[in-house]
Structure 1
């Protein structure tokens, strides 16, 4: 079959049908029908970058941490209007508007909402759980049937129901499996005897993702660690194939995140121009230096690897026990060299791990507390292209916050259990 001879991805009518199916699978249609937005942006006020309908809220009395500077402000006030931070600072220097709902933060620390750089959100329920556990912004690691694109649209309409999301659409992988059922433009690829491997086939899957509205592209260079029958050090795409994926994504103005484990696989991915290396257990110093030179991010997903060690499957458990210390050393080496790090749990299959767990493991790998926090705030926000909108509580940034009991600089584990979460100026727990 010649993929090049197929017509371009179908126009808007097909896209609407495909995404309507994705919304039904994700349960976002029902969530939208059942939940009306609490508030909407006041006319004349700027909305966040994604056009989210935000609320008005004042968070007062807590200890405010700015991850960008490390500055700590006691008895702080954060003023959110239309889902956007208008002021943040010490009470005496921050004007508090009258008649606005107030969230009492006395005795607690206030941080920007956390940024989850690698998560698989297949349903509205998973998306809501991620928010309640502190992830107010996220990047998808792909879904089988475009459910993440549906979740992204839910987040724009009902922000307390889902994180602000960068969607990846479907996985660019040799064997699409049942994913070919997601889209009539994908079904011709099922006839390829060798799977999605030729430059034309790789480009085709990327183009279809872009046509469906993906914000980023997810591909792989190695097999999976979470399947005992696969060898995560076996390479499935070479540098030339990865370069084809990157080139197609760049033509659409998008970056690529790449599932990687072996040193050669990681190096090929970096040299092909991916935006971020995911997992990267056996990444070596030579590749880290190249990542530093190129500004390539490292998203190690320590949470997922640690989870393998707890598996009931003996192969996976041994894999997790072997990989975790190796990956921690790689994370510390990357940090000491200056390679940018981003926190991601790789949560999937209906189980959502708190992004605070990934911060905890970053700290356990040897990062100082503030730097570990930055991997889930300013660092991850920059990876997502949201460094002016997420990761801080400063004027002009999204009105997302987490409140925690205890000093996260002294004990980052408090981030695993936020006592309150604010998403785009909406107190999430009070909206139940």
Structure 2
């Protein structure tokens, strides 16, 4: 069967029905129906996401905490953050920051105040998982793909009721050789079901990317190696070569999107980087040659240390051994990347109904050898740049989103406090 002559995917006629099904699977429709005000706030894209200057959200003053700006490292005691319509209007020392009368005040005395954290690799399949991610401090995130476009439904939930979900960059479905039941997600994928070799030809690879773009994906997720989390697979086995990865990248670029790539072996990592991916995911055995190329190209490294550490706790002996073996190797790769100047982003790779706190990934970055401030930047300013949201997320400064985490200790002295925020604010609304 050939997909070369298949009509282009529909961006109008089928998108509404497909995404309605995704919303039903994700439970976002039920979440919206339980929030009467949501209907009046629906919009194609939040103005705050486009410019960081306007938005729909709450009005709030966060008063009395110690404010940390990850961009500069500046610490301001007895700070005031003024949020209007979900966007920061002022942030700084009390004496230099005017507080609007009649605005709700959140007392932050005794806490440190940081911008909401940015989770660069997470699989959000349900509204419940999305809300859990926010409660654990991730107010902005990038999806690592879902089987039936649930992440696109979660993104729409976040736009309509920000406090229920992180601001999300959705990846749609995985560009992988075997789509499995994902072909049932979309009638425009069904021509791929009969391909004997799976999604491998340039035409088939382009088709999956184009369908994702037609459904509204913000980024494209693909792979170069098999999975580490399945004992029957060999994570060092390569499933796509550089030419195939280049086809994925080219199709994504035609739609103005970047590509994140699941990877493990050094050869796989190098092929992916040379193919032009935007970020390398996992990348346990990435070598110095590839890291230097990543620095030259500005390719991001999202090591997902949390996921690799989690393997070591598995009941399966194969997975447990992988975790014990891979984690120290990956920590060395993270340290080498930082020393070489490769941009790093924090991501937990949470999936399957369990949401790990993004603060735990920051703690692992610190354990890998990053200074505390640089580790914090991987989940704030650094990750925000990767997501193209450097003017919206990652700081509490004028024009940025009114997302914040309140911590019960100094994260520069002990980054572990990021794992359990005492309070989270999303778009000016305390969660």
TM-score by length of 1: 0.97
C-alpha RMSD over aligned residues: 1.3
Distance 2:40 2:73 in 1: 32
Instruction: Find out whether 1:190 has 2:193 as its counterpart.
Output: yes
Report the counterpart of residue 234 of structure 1 in structure 2: 237
Instruction: Find out whether 1:33 has 2:33 as its counterpart.
Output: yes
Report the counterpart of residue 10 of structure 2 in structure 1: 10
Report the counterpart of residue 20 of structure 2 in structure 1: 20
In the TM superposition, structure 1's runs of 4+ consecutive aligned residues that sit over 6 Å from their partners are 38-41
Q: Which runs of 5+ in 1 are unaligned?
A: none
Distance 1:244 1:157 in 2: 35
Instruction: Find out whether 1:211 has 2:214 as its counterpart.
Output: yes
Instruction: Find out whether 1:223 has 2:226 as its counterpart.
Output: yes
TM-score by length of 2: 0.97
Written as runs of structure 1 = structure 2, the 5 A alignment for 1:62-211 is 62-211=65-214
Deviations 1:241-290 (A, max 9, x none): 00000000000000000000000000000000000000000000000000
Instruction: Find out whether 1:283 has 2:286 as its counterpart.
Output: yes
Q: Does the 8 Å CA contact 1:107/1:405 hold for their aligned counterparts?
A: yes
Written as runs of structure 1 = structure 2, the 5 A alignment for 1:345-356 is 345-356=348-359
Q: Does the 8 Å CA contact 2:55/2:85 hold for their aligned counterparts?
A: no
| 1:297 to partner: Cα distance | 0.1
Q: Which runs of 5+ in 2 are unaligned?
A: none
Distance 1:38 1:73 in 2: 36
Written as runs of structure 1 = structure 2, the 5 A alignment for 1:318-329 is 318-329=321-332
> How many residues of Structure 1 are paired with residues of Structure 2 in the alignment?
424
Q: What SS does structure 2 have at the residue aligned with 1:265?
A: helix
| 1:38 to partner: Cα distance | 8.3
2:426 to 419, 423, 426: 423
Instruction: Find out whether 1:315 has 2:324 as its counterpart.
Output: no
Distance 2:158 2:39 in 1: 14
Instruction: Find out whether 1:340 has 2:343 as its counterpart.
Output: yes
Distance 2:37 2:330 in 1: 42
Q: What SS does structure 2 have at the residue aligned with 1:130?
A: helix
Q: Does the 8 Å CA contact 2:32/2:38 hold for their aligned counterparts?
A: no
Deviations 1:86-141 (A, max 9, x none): 00000000000000000000000000000000000000000000000000000000
Q: Does the 8 Å CA contact 1:281/1:300 hold for their aligned counterparts?
A: yes
Q: Does the 8 Å CA contact 2:62/2:81 hold for their aligned counterparts?
A: yes
| 1:11 to partner: Cα distance | 3.9
Distance 1:68 1:281 in 2: 28
**In structure 2, do the counterparts of structure 1 residues 365 and 11 end up closer, same or farther at CA, with 3 Å as the change threshold?**
closer
**In structure 2, do the counterparts of structure 1 residues 38 and 254 end up closer, same or farther at CA, with 3 Å as the change threshold?**
closer
Report the counterpart of residue 392 of structure 1 in structure 2: 395
| 1:49 to partner: Cα distance | 1.6
| 1:10 to partner: Cα distance | 1.8
